[in-house]
Structure 1
Amino acid sequence: MGKIKKACIIGDAMIPGKDFRPAFDRYLAKYVEDVKTGDWESDWQKLQFRRLEVEKQGPEIEIVPEMLGSEDREAELVMGLFVPVSSKLMEALPDLRIAGVCRAGLENVNLEEANRRGILVFNVQGRNAEAVSDFAVGLMLSESRNIARAHLAIKQGEWRKTFSNSDMVPQLKEKTIGIVGFGYIGQLVARKLSGFNTEILAFDPYVNPEIAGELGVKLVSLEDLFRQSDFVTVHARLTDENRGMIGSKEFALMKPESYFINTGRAGLVDYDALYSVLKEKKIAGAALDVFPTEPLPEKDKFVELDNITLTTHIAGTTKEALTSSPGLLMEDIQKLLEGRKPRFIVNPQILENSEFKQWLTGIQS
C-alpha cells in the first residue's frame, strides 16, 4: 500500500489544529508519511471577521496561511474548517490531491479552481444540522412569546407584561410554518415541528418531492410560502444565484401577525427591506442569528427595534457539532482510500480524472 506523502491540518480558533489530531490518528495516520498541524487564525474575534468576509467575497481575498512554507509543497492532503482553500493555496501546494473542510458550506473553497486542477473536495454535510434546527425552533418561540425580552426586563428591574405583539401572541399549534431551503436542516426543522401539530410548507427547487411527501410537507413557490406562512424560517445554502432572494417583494407578502427567522446566511436576505417592515410593524417580529457584518455594530439600526430577537451567530455551535466534525471528515476520506464509498465528496467527477485515478490507485494498492 502506498502512502500520502504529506498532510497539512490547518485549524483555527473554533477547531484548533491540535483538536483535529485525535481523528487524524484514528482514521488517517497509517495512510500518511508526514503531517503538519497548525492554525490559520487562532484569535477568536479575528476569525469571526475573516471567515465572514470570506463567505461574502470568496477565498481569493485571503493570502496563503502563514503556517505553510516551501517545505510543504509536497503536501497531497489539506484539511481544516474555515481555512481559505484558494487558488493561491493550491499554487503553494502543487501536489495537492484532496482538500477537506469540516463544514457544509463551501464559501471558503474555490471549487472551480479545484476542478480545474483535479483536486477532490470533501465537506461535512449535516455536522451542525441538529444544532441549527434546534435553534431555529427555539427562536420561533423566543421571539413570538417574548422570552428574551421578558428575561432582559427582569434583569433590568422591570416586571414587563406588555410587548409589541401583545394583542396577537401566538401558540405554534395549527400555525403554518414556511421553510425556505428543504435540505437536511430544513427537514429536521419539519420533523421537530411535527409535534406542535403545524402545517408545513417548503420552498426548494432542488429537493426530491418524495422526501417532502414522506414528511407531510407541501412544496410551494417562494411567493406562496411568504403569503401563507405564520412563521418563515430560512435554511437555504447561499449561492451566486440566490443571493438576496428575500427582499421587499417577499416581505410585502407576509401577514401582519407573521414572524421571520434566519439562522441560515445573511446574504440570502435584503436586511434593509427587513428593517423597514419591522420598523413599520408590517410583520409581528423577526429573529436573526446571522448578519451582513459581524460582530453587529454597537449602534446598528436593528438594536433599536423592540420586535426582534438577536443572537451572536451561535445556532450551529454546540459541543457535539464541533467535536464530531473532524472525525466525520477523516472517516470519509479513509473510506475513499480503502476503496469504499464516501458520503461527502463535492466534485465526484474528479474520481474519473486520469491523474487523480493514477494517484489514488497508488495509495490503494
Structure 2
Amino acid sequence: MIPGKGFGEAWKKIMGEYGDDVLVGDWEADWEKLQYRRLEVEKRGPEIEVVPDQIIESGKDAEILAGLFVPVSSKVLEAMPKLKVVGVSRAGLENVNVTEATKRGVLVFNVQGRNAHAVSDFAVGMMLAECRNIARAHYAIKNGTWRKTFSNSATVPELTGRNVGIIGFGYIGRLVAQKLSGFNMNRLVFDPYASEEDVKEAGCTKVDLETLLKESDFITLHARLTEANKNMIGEKEIALMKETAYIVNTGRAGLVDQVALAAALKANKISGAALDVFTTEPIPEDSEFLKLDNVTLTTHIAGTTADALGNSPSLLLEDISKLLKDNKPRFIVNPEVLENEEFKKWLEEVRA
C-alpha cells in the first residue's frame, strides 16, 4: 500500500544527513497476498510470520527499521541485533511485538492520526450512504432498475437533530464529532479513557455504553480493538438499540459480533449497518451480509487516500528525526526505553 521506495525517498529527504546506507524493499509486493497477510497479522500478531529474506540477508547491521505492515516479531528482533528504532507509519501496533522490543531496548514509533481525516470523512459518508440508500440506488440504476422503495422507506432520516453515538474518542472520534456538528446532530460519546471535561469541550455529552445504545439513531465505532472490548457490541447490546438505528464500523471488525449483527439486520431489529472492516477479508462468498438489503459494504478503504498513505513515511521519519536532534517526538510508544543504558549510549553517539 506504500511501496518501499516511498520510505526510501522520505529517508533521503528527511534523514539523509545520517547516511545513505539504506536498504529498500517490499514486505509483500502482491496486492492480494498483502491484504490477506496483513489482516492475519492484525488478528494474530507478528509472531505468525517468518523473517523477511531481506532482513535475514542484510538486517544484522541495521539500526533503524521503518515500514507499514512489516511484522516485527521476536524473530525479526533476534535477526537485527544492532536495531535501536522501529517505526511503523500507521496508528495500529498489531504488527509489532512491543513487549519484546522494549525488553531488547528498541524504541518503537507509530504514526497516530495519519489517516484520521480519511477515516472520519468516510464514516460520515457511510452514514449517509446507508440511511439514504445511495449505494443501493446506484446499483439498481446500473442494473437497469429505477428503484424507489427500500427496507427503510417509511423511516428514512435526515441527520439534523438526530443523536449520534461515538464509541471511542481518540483523534478519529473527535474529528467525526467535529464534522457531524455541521449537521447539528446531538453527539453522545462512550470512551472510558476520555475525561468528561474533554468531551464537553468538544460540544459532546459523555454517557455510558447502555445510554448510548438506547438513545442513538446512529452509532459509529472508532475504538482500538483489545481483548477487553472484543465483541463489545453483541446480541445483548444490539437489542438495546432503536429499531430505526444504524451502526457504522470503520474501525475494527472485532468490536462487533458479526453473527449477532447479521442476525439483527436479517430480522430488521435495527434499520441498517455500514461496514468497511470484516473478520475475514476479502469477505467470504457465503457471508450473511451479502444476502442482506440493509447493509452497505466497502472493501476496507476508509483510511486509504493518497494524502494519508503518501505522507505517512515522512511523518514517521520526521518524528524519528526529532528524537535524534534532541527535540520532542510525538509518537514514541515505549518511552521507558529512553532510560535503557545501551540505548542512551547509542543516542548520544548519534547526536554527537
Under a length normalisation based on structure 1, what TM-score does the superposition of the two structures give?
Answer: 0.95
Conservation of the 8 A alpha-carbon contact between 2:130 and 2:296: yes
Any idea what the Cα deviations from partners look like across 1:105-160, whole Å, max 9, x if unmatched?
Answer: 00001111111111100000000000000000000000000000000000110000
Matched, 1:268 2:252: no
Structure 2 equivalent of residue 75 of structure 1: 62
| 3-state DSSP of counterpart to 1:283 | coil
Structure 2 match to 1:162: 149
Q: Does 220-229 or 254-263 show the bigger shift?
A: 220-229
Q: Secondary structure of 1:52's match?
A: helix
Residue 280 of structure 1 corresponds to 267
For structure 2, list consecutive stretches of 5 or more residues without a partner in the other structure.
none
Q: CA deviation at 1:65?
A: 1.0
- What letter corresponds to residue 240 of structure 1 in structure 2? E
Query: Amino acid of the residue matched to residue 279 of structure 1?
Result: K
User: 3-state SS of the aligned residue for 2:61?
Assistant: coil
Percent identical among aligned pairs is: 63
Moved more, 100-109 or 216-225: 216-225
Conservation of the 8 A alpha-carbon contact between 1:131 and 1:321? yes
Pairing 1:225–2:212 present: yes
Secondary structure class of the residue paired with 1:331: helix
Please tell me the residue identity of whatever aligns with 1:219.
K
Counterpart pick for 2:289 among 302, 316, 324: 302
Separation in 2, partners of 1:228, 1:32: 57
> Partner of 2:173 in structure 1?
186
Output the CA distance in 2 between the equivalents of 1:224 and 1:358.
52
**In the alignment, is the contact (CA less than 8 A) between 1:259 and 1:283 conserved in 2?**
yes
Tell me the distance in 2 between the aligned counterparts of 1:187 and 1:210. 13
Give the Cα separation in 1 of the matches to 2:12 and 2:238: 50
Quote the RMSD (CA, aligned, Å): 0.9
Match of 1:66 in 2: 53
| Alignment correspondent of 2:242 | 255
2: CA distance between counterparts of 1:61 and 1:243? Answer: 20
Kept in 1: contact 2:11–2:317 (CA 8 A)? yes
Change (3 A) 1:32 1:207: farther
Amino acid at match of 2:205: K
Measured against aligned partners, the alpha-carbon deviations of 1:27-68 in whole angstroms (never above 9, x if no partner) come to 112113621111110011100000000000000000101222
Task: State the AA in 2 paired with 1:314.
Answer: I
Contact 1:180/1:202 (8 A) holds in 2: yes
- Whether the aligned pair in 2 keeps the contact of 1:40 and 1:66 (CA below 8 Å) is no
Q: What do residues 330-356 of structure 1 show as CA deviations (whole Å, max 9, x unaligned)?
A: 000000000000011011111111111
Report the equivalent of 1:91. 78
Corresponding pairs, count: 352
Q: Are residues 1:31 and 2:31 paired? A: no
Paired residues for 1:36-55 under 5 Å: 36-55=23-42
Question: What TM-score does the superposition give when structure 2 sets the normalisation length?
Answer: 0.98
In structure 2, distance between residues paired with 1:203 and 1:26? 41
Structure-to-structure mapping, 1:9-24, within 5 angstroms: 14-24=1-11
User: Which shifted more, 27-36 or 322-331?
Assistant: 27-36
Q: What amino acid sits opposite 1:50 in the alignment?
A: R
User: 2:190 corresponds to which residue?
Assistant: 203
